[in-house]
Amino acid sequence: MSTAGAKNIVNGVGLGLRWDFVDELLATRPHVDFLEISPENYMGRGGYYDEALERARELWPIVTHGLTMSLGGTDPLREDYLAGLASFLDRVKSPWHSDHLCFSTFGGVVLHDLLPIPFKKEEVVRVADRIKRAQDAIGRPMAVENVSSYMHPGKREMSEAEFIARVCEAADCGLMLDVNNAYVNATNFGFDVDEWMRTVPLDRVVQMHVAGHDWFTEGTWKTSDVVPTDPAEKANMLIVDTHGSDCCDDVLALLERTLRRTGPVPVLLERDQAIPPLEQLLAEVAKVKAIWSRATAKAA
Amino acid sequence: MSVTPLHAMMAAACFGDSEEALSGDLAAFLAKHGVAAEDAEAILASPRRLGLYRQLVRHNVVHVIGVMLERTRTRLDAVVPGELERSMAGFLAEQGPRTPHLRDVPSEFLAWASPRWRADARIPAWLADYAELELVDFTMGVAPRPAPPPPLAEVTVNRALVFGDPRVIIHLEWAVHLLPAEDADAAPEKRPVDLLVYRDAQHCTRYLDLSPLAAVILARLFEGLPLAQALTRACESSGHPLDDAVLGGAARLLADLGERGVLLGAREP
């Protein structure tokens, strides 16, 4: 059965809409609390997938999650992009819009990926100012997402968690808390992820993401089928945020611990590579929903 | 201290021709991009992962181009193996994507690559036309939704016609649209081709091979000229008499376009 009836309420556990399964999703109308889409995939386009989005909008609440705002960039924010985004958000009635705390443009070139920004004091004000301007332009509350990163570009003047807290405070914006990204960074950089969670502003979390990741070998950057277990193995490997596998138990456990502290905020399962059959994805959504229900019941 | 040099350095690491620099003298690479001493020191003291970013960023862009130009890659590889990869590397190094929409990157790439392919004697002269046709199949399929048409009237010679969107007339130097998909060795006939490309009600991209005169007539109609004026102007510019054959052909063309859902009617006076 569909969840039509709760069209404007975004909570519970949702699924990132992907073209790989949109037809099946629309045909079977399974129970999913909400869908998340990337506006970049739909803005300024028509045709089949645009029509599919319209149909999905009738059945599920939609939230939007952007990819190319480049909130941490030094290029000016793109006015044409923001204007198109504002119009698109009006159309899909997203209650908020999120994008990443990273940069993805430089010198007019769009890198189409999420590159890390340096955690420097001066950057807090500059990035917060861009978030505020973007928020004004789109006419909706914004949330910024913590990204996975594999190196810190330059000298670090504060921790990632502290940087996120300061930026959210200065911009007075929401936090799109990506639990997997926090786990990936904690593993790759060797910090305590629970301490990280105690530092970021959990009272500003409007939504969370969970996803799977893969282990890569340092230097060759090839994926490994083996998940390292001992420190010696891990020393030569790192986790890459591929969204290409199921959520691991550690990430789900971290999600549960975090939900107990935040209370019932919406959680989204992301999957972008090696996308399994829809039935399998929905089983994972159900697994996350069980965690969500358990954790938020305790929180309540 | 501005972070601009750090961003510039990372962008160059991802798209610039710097793979050897990244794996070689990283200090020199950082200095070349004006990275401050304290930042360079921190980067040099960390695991070397600029190469990972280079791999991840390039993969996203190269993947979407490869997917949308899959048939072009097959034809290109048959004559100059690896050329698509080299062209993509050249595009990334010299220009890079400018669009925030990943789906539009292949069009930017082709606009960069086409003149280079046309000037390259190793590459078949028709390959750029072939790639353009392959890409238009996708771009037409996802072109923005049309605005609602104006109030419609019956078609008469004194009225401008109303056509459904999206649609475009493309001009090719080779009949690449007739190449059989299953025969990678076949070469197209060299002749000017005018194709009407449009999206049908089922969101599929469709093609109609036009005669040269039909293409000119349709282009004038697309400009908004009334039917009679479009016929007259098209015949004048083509050096063709406006005779019964032309009138009959135009009538058949418009009837065909009506059946295809391309011609919607005429603009109300």
For helices B244-260 and B212-223, the axis angle rounded to 10 degrees is: 60
For helices B244-260 and B227-238, the axis angle rounded to 10 degrees is: 120
**Residue B196: which of B225, B223, B167 has the closest Cα?**
B167
pLDDT at A6: 39
pLDDT at A5: 36
ipTM of the complex: 0.92
Distance of CA B184 to the CA centre of its chain: 21
**Measured between beta carbons, which residues in chain B are less than 8 angstroms from residue A234?**
none
Beta carbons of B160 and B146 less than 8 angstroms apart: no
DSSP 8-state assignment for residue A158: S
Please provide the average confidence, as pLDDT, over all residues in chain A: 94
pLDDT at A8: 55
pLDDT at A298: 61
Q: What is the pTM of this model?
A: 0.92
* A37 CB within 8 Å of a chain B CB: no
CA distance B46 to B26: 12
Query: Tokens at residue A266, please?
Result: 């919406």
- Sort strands A174-178 and A223-224 into parallel, antiparallel or unpaired: unpaired
Beta carbons of B184 and B138 less than 8 angstroms apart: no
Taking 50 as the pLDDT cut, the residues of chain B under it are: none
CA distance A173 to A29: 33
Query: Tokens at residue A116, please?
Result: 């890390």
Has residue A232 got a pLDDT over 90? Answer: no
CA distance B110 to A83: 27
Output the CATH code of domain A13-213+243-299.
3.20.20.150
Domain assignments of chain B as residue spans, ordered by start: 1-48, 57-142, 152-267
CA distance A67 to B200: 31
Q: Give me the amino acid identity at A228.
A: P
Strand, coil or helix: B215: helix
CA distance A146 to B125: 48
Has residue A299 got a pLDDT over 60? Answer: no
**Measured between beta carbons, which residues in chain A are less than 8 angstroms from residue B141?**
47-48
**Residue B69: which of B95, B106, B122, B103 has the closest Cα?**
B106
Under an 8 A CB cutoff, do B46 and A41 touch?
A: no
Choosing among 3.90.930.50, 3.40.50.720, 3.40.47.10, 3.20.20.60, the CATH entry for B152-267 is 3.90.930.50
Choosing among 1.10.3470, 1.10.150, 3.40.720, 3.90.70, the CATH entry for B57-142 is 1.10.150
**Measured between beta carbons, which residues in chain B are less than 8 angstroms from residue A45?**
103, 142-145
Q: A129-133, A141-145, A178-182, B143-147 — which is least confidently predicted? A: B143-147
Has residue A211 got a pLDDT over 70? Answer: yes
Using CB atoms, pick whichever of A43, A110, A150 lies closest to residue B53.
A150
Q: Give contacts of A 158-177 with B, CB under 8 A.
A: none
**Measured between beta carbons, which residues in chain B are less than 8 angstroms from residue A244?**
none
Q: DSSP states of B159-193 as a string?
A: SBEEE-SSEEEEEEEE-GGGS-TT-TT----EEEE
Query: Tokens at residue A248, please?
Result: 């691991």
| Tally of CA atoms within 13 A in the half-sphere of B214 that contains its CB | 20
CA distance B257 to B269: 22
pLDDT in tens, A24-33: 999 999 999 9
CA distance A47 to A174: 33
CA distance A45 to A31: 28
Q: DSSP states of B58-111 as a string?
A: HHHHHHHHHHHTHHHHHHHHHHSTTHHHHHHHHHHHHT----S-GGGHHHHHHH
pLDDT in tens, A110-130: 999 999 999 999 999 999 999
